[in-house]
Each structure stands twice: as C-alpha cells, then as structure tokens.
Amino acid sequence: MARYIFITGGVVSSLGKGLASAALGALLQARGFSVRLRKLDPYLNVDPGTMSPFEHGEVFVTDDGAETDLDLGHYERFTGVAARGTDSVSSGRIYSNVLEKERRGDYLGKTIQVVPHVTNEIKDFIAIGDDEVDFMLCEIGGTVGDIEGLPFFEAIRQFSHDKPRGQCIFMHLTLLPYMAASGELKTKPTQHSVKELQSIGIAPDILVCRSEQPIPDKEREKIALFCNVRKGAVVAAYDLNSIYEAPLAYHREGLDQAVLDAFAIHPAPRPDLRVWDDVADRIHNVDGTVNVAIVGKYTQLEDAYKSIKEALSHGGMANRVKVNVSWVDAEIFDQDDAAAHLEGFHAILVPGGFGERGTEGKIKAAQFARTRDIPYLGICLGMQMAVIEAARNVAGVSTAGSEEFDHEAGKKRFEPVVYHLKEWVRGNAKVKRKHTDDKGGTMRLGAYDAVLAEGSRVAGIYGTPAIDERHRHRYEVDVKYRETLEQAGLGFAGMSPDGRLPEIVEWRDHPWFVGVQFHPELKSKPFAPHPLFADFVRAAVENSRLV
C-alpha cells in the first residue's frame, strides 16, 4: 500500500509546486523507493487539450494518449516514470464523471452534492494504483483558499482520515517575501497561508518556503512555532540557475529526510545521487555554446514550448555545451526576409502548432535551413511545413499546402500535400474522425510505432529499426506524394508499420535536416537525452565551428 504525500501551495501561484514534487520524487527514488506523481487541477476544462497555449502553456501527452498538464512533463523528466492518463485530472473531468453517473442512475435517485459525491470521485481517482508504488505524490493545483479548489482540499482531508495513521502527510509551499527597506524576511504570509489550510482541516507536516534570501534560524523557529511544525520540517527553496539542480538543492536542505521522518521511516536508506551529480556537472562544466532559433507562433509564452526547451538543454548536456535558445515569431517573416532574423544561428527548430497563422514564416524558415545547410529539426507542424516547402520549391508542386488551412479559409486554395487524417489503426482497432467532431481528444494521440528506413540518418541516430513515439495532431503528410518528394531528394525515413502514414522525412544531401510527425521532446530527460535532440545539438556544434 502506497504512502501518500499531498503537495499544496499558498500565498501566490507559480511557487514551483510541480518542480518541488518532481525533485522530491527523484530524491525518494535515489533512496530506493518507487514513486508515482499525480496532478489534480481545479479548473473546469475537462483537460488542457482545447486550451490556448497562451492560457495554459504546453499540453503534455502521455503514452496512452491523455492530454495533460505540463507539470506531468516535470514529473517524467525528473523520475523517468512514464506518466499515464490516470495521473492527471481536473474539476471538469470529475464533475463530468459525476454527472454521467447521475444520468445513468448510478446514485439511485439521491441528491447529488459536492460532499460526498464529488469528493468521493476525487478520492477514487487518488487511489488508482495504490498497490503499485511505495510513494504516491499528489499535487493540488492553484493555492489554498481558491474557491474552485475547495472540493480537492476536502477530498484529501477525507482521504487522509480514511487511511491508517501515518499513511498520509501534507507538504505546503509558501512564499517568504524579503522587504528590502527593512532588510527582513517576512513570515506572516506563510503563517496566514497555513492558518487558511488549518481552517479547512489540514495541518501541514512539512513547509517548503520559497525565498530569495537565506532563512535565519530565528525565522525558521518562528515559522515552526506559529505553524505547528518541527523546525527540521521548515525547508528552504531558493532560486536556482537550473531546475535540474533542484534534487541536490532540496537534499541539502533536508527535504527528503523530513519526509521520511514524517512517515517515521527509520533507519532511512542512504541516497544514491550520482545521476544528479553527473547532471549538475554537465550543466556547470561545458565546452562551448550553440545558438538555436525556435521559430514558432506562441513565442510570447515560453511555457508553450516547455518540453522542447528542456529537451534542447538535455541535448546540450549530452554534448557538454550550453544551448542558447532564441524565440523567433514566425509571423515576422511576413514582412521581413528570413535571413534578417536567422543569420548566425547554428541550428533552427520549428515546433508544432495549430492553424494557418505563422505557417508561411515556418515554411520560409525551413527553406532557409535547407538552402543554407543549417541543421533543422521540424516537429509535427514543423515537419509538415518542411514537406510543403520541398513540394513547392523543389518538387514542382507550386500550390502545395495543407487541408487545414483551406478549412479555415472556407475555400480551396492549395493542393493538399498535408491532409486531414480521417482514420488510422491503434492496436487492433480502427479509429475514425470527422471535421465536425468535438475538438477535445479527437486527434491522433499517444504512442505509435514507426519503422525506420535502413541506412537512413534517423536509423543511425536511434540505433534501432523500429521506434515508438508520442503524437498529437489531426493532419498528416499525404503518402501519395512520397514518390514525387523522394525523387526531389526528400527521403521518407520513417513510416507507420502499415506503410500508410509518414512519420519522418529527411533531406539526404543535407548535413542535418529531419522532420518528425511526432513529439520526441516529450520523452527526453536530463539523464537520458532523446537521441534526436542529442544529435541535433551535436550537428549544431559542428555547424558552429564552420560559421
């Protein structure tokens, strides 16, 4: 039976609950325990799948095809444990499940209420996989006191009450603001946050206090006294140069020991932190720098491409270089020449996206990389734009475009080299989709297999003839253009096992130009960089020596 750690936040949002949860999971693994991490989000969307990247950041996709919060990416990157659809839930999903049961008559005509029906649904979700791991870490989104979060706080209160004593603990993140005028750290916001938590029946066992300044013993003692926790359970969380320093930083502050003490686990297994020591060494001891341009349409919010940025940093670790990322708005190419904004970069990456806005700029970025022999990695839409560029400028299909853009415009303007995927095979079942379907969850989602062409660049990079990668898209490159494009020099280096869906393209006569229909960034980790990103950065390093 798992032990449960519930992670909550107070005072302000964006304190780093997801990072603290992920780092704690990594530390417990270092001590020999198995872990799983979960995110409970209070928003009423069923999942983040239809939310704007400007609103929510990236959507993290699991192997089983769930569209989830980006914090699950942190969990995977720090623990290496593949997230599942059962590791993320929102108020919208909870209420939807409750209302579906009510319509089916599962509640036998009872009046449906937040307590017990909604809270029971949350508790049932929390308990999934209870017997699979040693520790279950559950992060509650938002901050204590948020009205939409109250059912989740009540549910975890009940859950801890239902479990045997010592089976659940609560970890609360707060802010210790520094008042420069008086030269003091102020503990009152933390005290008020804990008081709010206690008012709904939850007493924190551990406080993680985010601070820009060292926390003196006097302040630790004050926090411990007025918040009713042990002094050793007041853990400092300081700003870091890299998020991957967090496991070592939290270990130095005693977070993992405080957790084991709260569970009365004695003697505590000694941690093996060699993996994180190596990661820290690769961050701080680099042999050079490369500059990579990310040409996208959501560049105003870096969290929209969170996993891509992290995967690039992992590729840098693999090559012992620092990767400087520059965000280039694809729409700027509507007025300016691509060369004016892409000159001097050692590599170009074009990520995924939806809709026509910015796509002509992405096509120009692909053309610039192709003609200038600059390493190029196109992901999802970035692959499709590279194919359209090849069709227009090399293969002679001058009106090449995507069916997606014609649907937006309401008229036919392009020859659809990229078309709406209407059916595909998942496992032993055929999946069918129509344009009129609801947007949420109707894409090709999750892990799918691909077969790599013998002798291709990507086969050499992966070192295997077959792969499986995660997808999130509605449109595919039309395989009927394969012969035309291959004659022009664009090789189809990866295909679905049935040969119908192009998964990878590459220019044969280019130093490094690869487009992939899937999202390799979702499976990259600091201690296990994705091979595509590791080789992409290697190519950027080589190019930097030529510039």
- 253, 224 contact by CB (below 8 A): no
Q: Tokens 């006191």, residue?
A: 145
Active site (annotated) includes residue 519:
yes
CA distances from 141 to 78, 199, 456 (A): 19, 19, 44
Question: What does the alpha-carbon distance between residue 429 and residue 515 come to, in Å, rounded to a whole number?
Answer: 27
Q: Tokens 């070192």, residue?
A: 463
Torsion of CA 310, 315, 319, 325, to 10 degrees: -60
Torsion of CA 378, 384, 385, 389, to 10 degrees: 110
| Distance linking the first and last C-alpha atoms of the chain | 58
Q: Tokens 């707060």, residue?
A: 174
Among residues 172, 380, 389, 403, which one is catalytic?
380
Active site (annotated) includes residue 521:
yes
382 Cβ partners below 8 Å, 6+ apart? 349, 350, 351, 352, 362, 366, 515
Task: Give CB contacts under 8 A, 24+ apart, made by 422-427.
Answer: 424/496, 424/500, 424/501, 425/496, 425/498
Active site (annotated) includes residue 67:
no
Neighbours of 54 (CB within 10 A): 11
- Three-class DSSP labels, 25-94: HHHHHHCCCCEEEEEEECCCCCCHHHCCHHHHCCCEECCCCCEECCHHHHHHHHHCCCCCHHHEEEHHHH
Amino acid 200 reads I
313's tokens: 């940093």
Strands 475-477 and 415-420: antiparallel
139 Cβ partners below 8 Å, 6+ apart? 7, 17, 18, 21, 37, 38, 39, 40, 71
CA distances from 321 to 181, 287, 543 (A): 40, 5, 13
The secondary structure element, H or E, covering residue 198 is helix 188-199
| The residue count for the chain | 547
Q: Where are the beta strands (DSSP E) in 413-528?
A: 415-420, 423-426, 429-432, 444-452, 466-473, 475-477, 490-495, 502-507, 513-516
Strand partners, 418: 402, 477
- Three-class DSSP labels, 323-376: EEEEEEEHHHHHCCCHHHHHCCCCEEEECCCCCCCCHHHHHHHHHHHHHHCCCE
Among residues 74, 506, 521, 530, which one is catalytic?
521
Task: For Cα atoms 445, 38, 15, give the angle at the middle one, nearest 5 degrees.
Answer: 110
- 487-502 burial string, b = 16+ CB within 10 Å, else e? ebebbbbbbbeeeebb
Nearest Cα residue to 192 out of 169, 213, 223: 223
Indicate which residues carry an active-site annotation.
380, 519, 521
